[in-house]
C-alpha cells in the first residue's frame, strides 16, 4: 500500500506499508504463506500520465546500477586456475 499526496502534478509517496507475519505464520511452508495473501482489491484503470505512484517507482535510480565500467572488469583467468577450481585440486 502506498500513502501519498499530490502537489500540483507531482505525487509524493509518504509511506509504504505491508503486514509482517507473527511467529507461528513465519514457520509456515511457502505454499501456506502464499495462502495468507489477501486478494480483496478493486481494479481501477488509470492513465499512465496520472498514475504518479507507479511512474515514480519505475523511475527510481538504483545506486548499484552501472557502478563498473565494462573496461574495469577482468574476465580473463589463467587456464590452470580454472582447472583447479573445476577439479578441486587438493594442492591449493
Q: Residue 69 domain-assigned?
A: yes
User: Which residues form the domain of 52?
Assistant: 2-87
Local confidence band at 6 (pLDDT 50, 70, 90 cut-offs) = confident
Q: Residue 25 domain-assigned?
A: yes
Q: Residue 22 domain-assigned?
A: yes
How far apart are alpha carbons 48 and 40 in whole angstroms?
Answer: 23
Q: Residue 92 domain-assigned?
A: no
Local confidence band at 64 (pLDDT 50, 70, 90 cut-offs) = low
Q: How far is CA 12 from the centre of its chain?
A: 20
Number of domains the chain is built from: 1
How do residues 16-33 score in pLDDT, each as one tens digit?
A: 877 888 999 999 998 888
Confidence check: pLDDT of 63 > 80 = no
Q: Residue 15 domain-assigned?
A: yes
Q: Residue 39 domain-assigned?
A: yes
How far apart are alpha carbons 50 and 52 in whole angstroms?
Answer: 6
Q: Residue 46 domain-assigned?
A: yes
Amino acid at each position: 500500500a502506498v500513502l501519498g499526496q499530490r502537489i500540483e502534478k507531482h505525487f509524493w509517496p509518504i509511506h509504504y506499508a505491508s503486514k509482517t507475519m507473527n511467529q507461528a505464520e513465519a514457520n509456515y511452508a511457502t505454499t501456506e504463506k502464499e495462502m495468507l495473501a489477501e486478494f480483496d482489491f478493486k481494479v481501477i484503470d488509470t492513465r499512465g500520465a496520472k498514475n504518479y505512484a507507479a511512474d515514480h517507482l519505475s523511475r527510481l535510480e538504483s545506486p548499484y546500477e552501472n557502478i563498473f565500467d565494462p573496461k574495469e572488469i577482468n574476465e580473463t583467468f589463467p587456464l590452470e586456475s580454472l582447472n583447479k577450481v573445476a577439479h578441486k585440486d587438493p594442492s591449493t
